[in-house]
Chains A and B, each alone.
Chain A
Amino acid sequence: MSEAALFDTVKYKTRKMEPGDSFPESLYPEILRGINSFPKVLFYKGDIVTGLFDNCVAVVGSRNMTMYGRTVTRNLVSALCAGGITVVSGFMYGIDATAHASCVEFGGKTVAVMPCGIEMIHPPRQKDLYMDILQNGGLVLSEYDEEFPPCVWTYPRRNRIVAGLCKAVLVVEAGEDSGSLITAGFARKYGRRVMAVPGPVTSLVSAGTLKLIKEGADMVCSAEDLMRLLGHGKGQVIGEHFVETIENNLNKLSTKIISVLGKEPLDISMLSKILEIDIPLLSVEMTNLSLAGVICEREGMYYVS
């Protein structure tokens, strides 16, 4: 592993907790002790605030996140943060990283369970996110010490901790052979609630979540669904409600663009065909909408943000 992956241990000291600790009061999460293969020792960085492990929900998903997955993750995590629920995930890029990042952004509590030694950052290029988590009162956990490298078998073992810490696991996007399905499998084994977000049947990264729903997982279509399933009433979403207010001030063409993009994300050529508007004129409108923050572009596709 590259040197960049090594973490500066001066600022955030590594501590450990064991299930047998009893003085003054065990930090080891009670809920994790409920699984039959609970880790004998856990290393962690950051502070364990009271109640951190009392109400945890895992938000996991595909590495190959789509814009849809990103939007949904942010939206649902914001509801979890508002409800004071701790968001647990696996720190992998894609949905996991988005879940952590959104949680930091919305001021919620988050726990990252690493597949490698506690002194390593994996994947290394997410160092900034790692620091963000710790600086905002989050927690980084691992059952491996030092610079134990991540390997094929540490990922599923990490997933068992993710599932074991939480009373429910939410899968946002997952391919057919995704590691998130392993997490969901553990959750089911441990008697935790499994929830999944549906997606288009044509999407490769929704194949796994749709499979979970077919097998009986709870379907989550909105923040309300999620909070109701978690027994939190209706719940609320922080921010994200600006589209309506801006919409009043938009001209006719912009309204048309938003309504079309609201149905499905499109690239500019297709949009011009559908709206029957020339590219130059449409480009001007797209720039204005992007600058207003109403739509956003990713890899050539336009989305309503």
Chain B
Amino acid sequence: MLVKINSIAVLGVDVVRVTVEVNIASRGFPSFDIVGLPNKSIAESKERIKTAIQNSGIEFPSSKKITVNLAPAGMPKEGTFYDLAIATGIVCASKGIKPPEDSMFFGELSLDGSLRHTKGAFLAALYLEDIGLRSIFLPLNSANEAAVFTGINVYGLSTMGELVSHITGKMQLAPYKNAAIDTRSKHVSTQDSEVVGQEYAKRALEIAAAGGHNVLLIGSPGVGKTMLSRMFSGMLAPLTQQESHEVTKIYSVTGKIPPGGSLITARPFRAPHHTVSYAGFIGGGNPIRPGEISLAHRGVLFMDEFTEFHKDIIEALRQPMEEGKVTITRSSMSVELPCRFLLLAACNPCPCGYLWHHKNKCKCSVPDVERYRKKLSGPILDRIDIVCRMRDFELKSPDQNVLSSHDSHGNNSEIKMVIDRIYAAHKIQEKRFDGVGTVLNSEMTNMQVGLHANLSVEAKVLLNRAVESYGLSARSYFKIVKVARTIADLGGAGDIEPPHIAEALQYKTSTL
């Protein structure tokens, strides 16, 4: 008997519909074959499926000729989630029953017949309706991921046996209900906010967090670059629902959602080490998997020791930073991955790190420093909206005001105020870009800049003067207006006034 089961194949972060055809023939030599370009993990599933079915107390048709075809047969397929679809097909075909209509079967089997948490469940559920299905059967541990969508039936299974009882009508499974989990990271801990001084850098990060602008922090070791960056992740506003779906998709595909996990609501904060490989950073491999820049989608890509990254990796950032997506093309396929991230880069002023230090002697010659800074090429710097130099300060006396944070009572009301301002600025932007697809000021197209960033006459005069005297590029011009827009939003202002432009200029004009 021939049975057809619905499934999917994952291409980057998109899916295509796949039909799993299972035929059990009485005639022919006993065998179990899977065709349709399965990869190693699918080919190996034969043993898992056979053992799992037997251990569930169901008879496996070992004496028959079993043929499984994954159609369309010309497309390479990968993933352990086909286990359940193939097993269901075999059970249905051998028992001569019809599988449930408009349903997808998704999940990896364990030898004892139980179902394991499988990556990609969110994606399967997201596209379920698009490919014309209504129900999805998947492992109980993955059900929470899939159950965020209304209008579809999600059935969480803990064993293969439960499914068979459901299909044969012995027992009716109840659709799974989503239990929302707040994955937002706990609020900024007091310890992280105890970066001493550096008010300038803190203000720069506030603007960056509010408008999604790229930042470069330059400073000697120990001035607080890494600590401020850690604090930064706690300053970000939570994801909107749309953004949350985009991020969860990527995390689901890469298997980064824990068992029982659901939607991701906190902005991702990725901090790859500078030895990261090209494919691991941009995305790639076979099949193509999202890299760090996609994992940082709608969040922060923190590149500590920016200049230590391989030059190719730094230069590869150019287009993704501009377009918010990266297209990875291989001879067999081409995949587009989203990567709208905020780049937070940190580096030293020179190879030894102590060029600006008040006490430690810098051991670098002038050409050394120049060579080091050449790694920060013009095109990359042009894409960074906020450059912030962090100087260490000389501790003159122990009771000097510098050491205590703004609030002398030891509580961090300062940081709470900053976060409130950032959230408020996000709300303003949400309203501004309602339904346009843009989320933050930094993503505005030049046309949108003309539409939403209204400069007062005085502001225009000031900006033109600055462009002339600093020789700014056209891209820089728009970047400054975008940053000024965010500064105005933080202050709740409508039009952009000269002070907003002037402050934005502070972060851009500093020469390197």
Of the four ranges (under 10, 10 to 19, 20 to 34, 35 or more), the interface on chain A belongs to: 20 to 34
Q: Is the CB of B199 within 8 A of A287?
A: no
Indicate if B330 sits at the interface (CB-CB under 8 A): no
Q: Which 10 A-B pairs have the closest CB atoms?
A: A300-B389, A287-B502, A267-B391, A284-B502, A283-B506, A279-B203, A283-B503, A269-B200, A284-B499, A268-B200
Q: Is the CB of A299 within 8 A of B503?
A: no
Scan residues 244-292 of chain A and give those whose CB is less than 8 A from a CB of chain B.
267-270, 272-273, 279-281, 283-288, 290-291
Give the docked Cα–Cα distance between A164 and B324 (Å). 63
Give the docked Cα–Cα distance between A123 and B367 (Å). 10
Indicate if B377 sits at the interface (CB-CB under 8 A): no
Residues of B within 8 A of A300 (CB): 218, 356, 389-391, 510
Q: Is the CB of A298 within 8 A of B203?
A: no
Residues of B within 8 A of A132 (CB): none
The 25 listed contacts between A and B (C-beta, < 8 Å) are: A64-B362, A123-B367, A204-B361, A269-B391, A269-B393, A270-B197, A270-B391, A272-B199, A279-B202, A283-B502, A283-B506, A284-B499, A284-B502, A287-B502, A287-B505, A291-B462, A291-B465, A297-B510, A299-B355, A300-B218, A300-B390, A300-B391, A300-B510, A301-B356, A301-B391
Q: Is the CB of A287 within 8 A of B506?
A: yes
Q: A64-B366, A291-B469, A299-B389 are in contact. Are A280 and B203 (CB under 8 A)?
A: yes
Scan residues 471-512 of chain B and give those whose CB is less than 8 A from a CB of chain A.
487, 498-499, 501-503, 505-506, 509-511
Q: Across the two chains, which residue of chain B brings its CB closest to A269?
A: B200
Q: Is the CB of B466 within 8 A of A287?
A: yes
Interface code B386-404, partner A: CB below 8 Å = 1, 0 otherwise? Answer: 0001110100000001100
Give the docked Cα–Cα distance between A272 and B499 (Å). 17
Whole-angstrom distance between the Cβ of B227 and the nearest chain A Cβ:
15
Indicate if B290 sits at the interface (CB-CB under 8 A): no
Give the docked Cα–Cα distance between A123 and B358 (Å). 29
Q: Is the CB of A299 within 8 A of B505?
A: no
Whole-angstrom distance between the Cβ of A92 and the nearest chain B Cβ:
9
Whole-angstrom distance between the Cβ of B387 and the nearest chain A Cβ:
9
Q: Is the CB of B509 within 8 A of A269?
A: no
Interface code B274-309, partner A: CB below 8 Å = 1, 0 otherwise? Answer: 000000000000000000000000000000000000
**Chain B interface residue count, Cβ-Cβ cutoff 8 angstroms:** 38
Give the docked Cα–Cα distance between A273 and B366 (Å). 31
Q: How many A-B residue pairs have CB under 8 A?
A: 81
Indicate if B201 sits at the interface (CB-CB under 8 A): yes
List 5 other contacts, CB 8 Å, given A281-B499, A299-B355. A63-B365, A63-B366, A269-B201, A280-B203, A300-B218
Instruction: Choose from A64, A269, A299 the contact partner of B197 (Cβ within 8 Å).
Output: A269
Whole-angstrom distance between the Cβ of A227 and the nearest chain B Cβ:
31
Give the docked Cα–Cα distance between A91 and B498 (Å). 43
Residues of A within 8 A of B401 (CB): 273
Indicate if B198 sits at the interface (CB-CB under 8 A): yes
A→B interface (CB under 8 Å): 63-64, 93-94, 123, 202, 204, 267-270, 272-273, 279-281, 283-288, 290-291, 297-301
Instruction: Choose from A93, A280, A291, A298 the contact partner of B503 (Cβ within 8 Å).
Output: A280
Give the docked Cα–Cα distance between A123 and B371 (Å). 14
Q: Which of B202, B358, B361, B391 has the most CB of A within 10 A?
A: B391
Scan residues 427-480 of chain B and give those whose CB is less than 8 A from a CB of chain A.
462, 465-466, 469
Indicate if B349 sits at the interface (CB-CB under 8 A): yes
Q: Is the CB of B198 within 8 A of A269?
A: yes
Give the docked Cα–Cα distance between A93 and B366 (Å). 8
Q: A279-B203, A280-B203, A284-B502 are in contact. Are A299 and B356 (CB under 8 A)?
A: yes
Give the docked Cα–Cα distance between A164 and B234 (Å). 65
Give the docked Cα–Cα distance between A115 and B365 (Å). 18
Q: A63-B365, A94-B366 are in contact. Are A267 and B506 (CB under 8 A)?
A: no
Give the docked Cα–Cα distance between A279 and B201 (Å). 10
Whole-angstrom distance between the Cβ of A213 and the nearest chain B Cβ:
22
Residues of A within 8 A of B469 (CB): 291
Give the docked Cα–Cα distance between A297 and B387 (Å). 13
Residues of B within 8 A of A283 (CB): 200, 203, 502-503, 506
Q: A273-B401, A288-B502, A297-B511 are in contact. Are A280 and B487 (CB under 8 A)?
A: yes
Give the docked Cα–Cα distance between A294 and B10 (Å). 60
Give the docked Cα–Cα distance between A63 and B509 (Å). 25
Give the docked Cα–Cα distance between A286 and B499 (Å). 11
Q: Across the two chains, which residue of chain A brings its CB closest to B503?
A: A283
Q: A280-B203, A298-B511, A299-B356 are in contact. Are A273 and B197 (CB under 8 A)?
A: yes
Whole-angstrom distance between the Cβ of A247 and the nearest chain B Cβ:
20
Q: Across the two chains, which residue of chain A brings its CB closest to B507?
A: A283
